Amino acid sequence: MSDSLYQEIILDHYKHPHGRGLREPFGGEAHHVNPTCGDEITMRVALDGEKITDVSYDGQGCSISQASASVLHELLTGSTVDDAFATERVFTELMQGRGQVEPDEDVLGDGIAFAGVAKYPARVKCALLSWMAFKDATARALSGAGRTS
Partner 1 sequence: MSAPHSPLDVDRVRKDFPILERRLAGDHPLVYLDSANTSQKPAAVLDVLAEHYTRHNANVARAVHQLGEESTAAYESARDKLAALINAPSRDEIIFTKNASEALNLVAHTLASGLADDPRYRLGPGDEIVVTEMEHHSNIVPWQLAAKRTGAAFRWFGLTDDGRLDLSTIGELINERTKIVSLVHQSNSLGTVNDVATVVARAREVGALVLLDGSQSVPHQPIDVTALGVDLLAFTGHKMVGPTGIGVLWGRREVLDALPPFLGGGEMIETVDMTGSTFAPIPHKFEAGTPPIAQAIGLGAAVDYLTGIGLDRIHEHELTLTGYALEKLNAIDDLRIIGPNSLEGRGGTVSFVVDGVHPHDVGQLLDEQGVAVRVGHHCARPVCVRYGIPATTRASFYLYTTFDEIDALADGLHQVKRFFG
Which residue in 24, 28, 23, 56 sits closest to 145, CA to CA? 28
CA distance 83 to 52: 10
The least CB distance from residue 9 to partner 1, in Å, is 15
Of 65 and 87, the one with the shorter C-beta distance to partner 1 is 65
Q: Report the alpha-carbon angle 83-111-33, nearest 5.
A: 85
- Binding track over 76-115 against partner 1, x by CB under 8 A: ----------------------------------------
Of 63 and 79, the one with the shorter C-beta distance to partner 1 is 63
Which residues are within 8 A (CB) of 44 and not within 5 positions of it... i.e. 6 or more apart? 22, 23, 26, 28, 29, 54, 55, 56, 57, 137
Q: Which residues pair with 21 in a beta bridge?
A: 57
The least CB distance from residue 38 to partner 1, in Å, is 5
Q: Using CB under 8 A, which of 108, 126, 128, 137 touches partner 1?
A: 126
- How many residues in total does the chain contain? 149
- Binding track over 50-69 against partner 1, x by CB under 8 A: ----------xxxxx-----
- Positions in the binding site for partner 1 (CB under 8 A): 1-2, 5-6, 11, 36-40, 60-64, 120, 123, 126
